[in-house]
Amino acid sequence: MVIENVGQPLELAHLPYRKNGTFEDYVGRRGLERRGLKKWKASVFDVVARLQAALLPDYVVIGGGQVDELDQLPDGCRRGDNRMAFVGASRLWNGSTISL
C-alpha cells in the first residue's frame, strides 16, 4: 500500500479468512486448484470487498499469475503485473516519488 508516496509494507495474504485458512489459501493458486474457478472467483471478489472496506484504497491492483483467470474485475480494481512491484520498490528505495 502506498500512502502519500510512502510504501507501507503489508502482508495481508496471511490474515485469517474462512475455516482456519488465510486469504492466500482462498485467492492464491492453491485456492484456485483446490476449489475450482467459480468458487475461486467468488472468493477473489469477497476478499477484495473486505479489504476495500477496511483499508479504503483509491483503487486495488490485482496481479499475480491467476489474474488472467478473471474475465471481470471487482469494482475499483485494475489488472497489474508483478514485475511492476519491482519497479515501484526500486523507486521507493531510491527516494523517488511514485506517480500512479
Domain ranges of the chain: 14-93
Considering the chain, what is the average pLDDT of its residues? 86
Write down the pTM of the prediction. Answer: 0.78
Residue 37 has pLDDT above 90, yes or no: yes
Give the separation between CA 83 and CA 49, rounded to whole angstroms: 24
What share of the chain has pLDDT > 70, as a percent? 88
Residue 70 has pLDDT above 90, yes or no: yes
Residue 96 has pLDDT above 60, yes or no: no
What are the two backbone dihedrals, phi and then psi, of residue 62, each rounded to the nearest 5 degrees? -100, 120
Q: What is 14-93's CATH topology?
A: Nucleotidyltransferase; domain 5 (3.30.420)
pLDDT attached to residue 8: 77
| pLDDT bucket at 76, cuts 50 / 70 / 90 | very high
pLDDT attached to residue 87: 74
Mean pLDDT for the stretch of residues 27-36: 94
